Amino acid sequence: MGAQLRIYRRRIRSVKATKKITKAMELISASRIVKAQQRVNASTPYANELTRAVTAVASFASVDHPLTSFEPNPKRAAVLLITADRGMAGAYSSSAIKEGDQLIAALRQRGLDAKVYIVGRKGLSYYKFRDRAIAKSWTGISDNPTYASAREIGQELIKAFIADSATDPDGVAELHVVYTEFRSMVTQEAMAKRMLPLEVVESSGPAGLLPMYEFEPSPDSVLDALLPKYIEARIYNALLQSAASEHAARRRAMKSATDNADELIKSFTRKANAARQAEITQEISEIVGGADALASAMAGSE
């Protein structure tokens, strides 16, 4: 009984130490998610308006530009997969990876090869473990992305998109991004979106009326200037959305782990109390038995 009691007490100490870690990580994620949510709310209007401006130029200007033109026989597409650098975030990274696999499968059904660009060590480890090809990767930026990181990623993707995919092995005909959209503290959804070529047509205003735009100096020049800003803004917003989702998922996972630790502590405490009670009962029985034996021996000697 004494050995069993020591085992339970050792397990209780171990679970309590784990609980301190999970509780601390929960509090850290809860404090970071507020700032991450504020950054998402601040960047989303800019990204949406920039997308609206680029769409307006592309939709109402009769120009042949890489933003809107589709290659007749595309061969490759670029997929930017955004995952986490650290674990303990539940199914956050695995959901994004699963969504990316579904997108790649859909591209292959169309006859396109996928060039995968990865953000985060979790996605990088997943692809390396399975010996999958990776065009380029970035790590150490998932939980606190900066615009400089988005610009670096955007430049790499734009260079691949501008290149002719028919003749250049590094060229791609489409740009897709897979990230986790932050909707609320309890709801985050992994999704895939196509960034280029554009297909959204602006339709604001009364039915039958289209807005009129004037472009200076020319639609081609405007699109050339807006292309890098558009890609960088979309990537930056996707990074911020994913960072906020990562913190929310980690906070939820650590809260669940802390609650489970409390249940384990209660369970081990009950078992330890039962073992201690059984040990005390056994000791009392041994004392009573010894006393009875001593009394019988003394009575026999008389």
What pLDDT, in 10s, does the model give residues 196-229? 887 544 444 444 455 666 777 777 777 777 788 8
Condensed to tens digits (0 to 9), the pLDDT of residues 136-194 reads 999 999 888 999 999 999 999 988 888 877 677 788 989 999 999 998 888 899 999 99
Output the pLDDT for position 37. 86
Domain ranges, residue 48: 21-202+212-255
Same-domain pairing of 118 and 167: yes
H helices within the chain, ranges in order?
2-60, 92-109, 121-129, 147-162, 219-301
* Strand (E) or helix (H) holding 79: strand 76-82
Same-domain pairing of 78 and 194: yes
Same-domain pairing of 9 and 85: no
Same-domain pairing of 39 and 13: no
Structurally, the chain folds into a number of domains equal to 2
Same-domain pairing of 189 and 177: yes
Domain assignment present for 207: no
119 by DSSP, 3-state: which? strand
Nearest by Cα to 16 from 185, 290, 260 = 260
Same-domain pairing of 292 and 228: no
Domain assignment present for 148: yes
Output the pLDDT for position 207. 45
Same-domain pairing of 8 and 35: no
Condensed to tens digits (0 to 9), the pLDDT of residues 78-110 reads 999 999 999 888 889 999 999 999 999 999 998
172 in Cβ contact with 76 (< 8 Å): yes
Same-domain pairing of 137 and 274: no
Same-domain pairing of 10 and 46: no
Same-domain pairing of 62 and 125: yes
Domain assignment present for 76: yes
Domain assignment present for 188: yes
Domain assignment present for 173: yes
Predicted TM-score (pTM) above 0.85: no
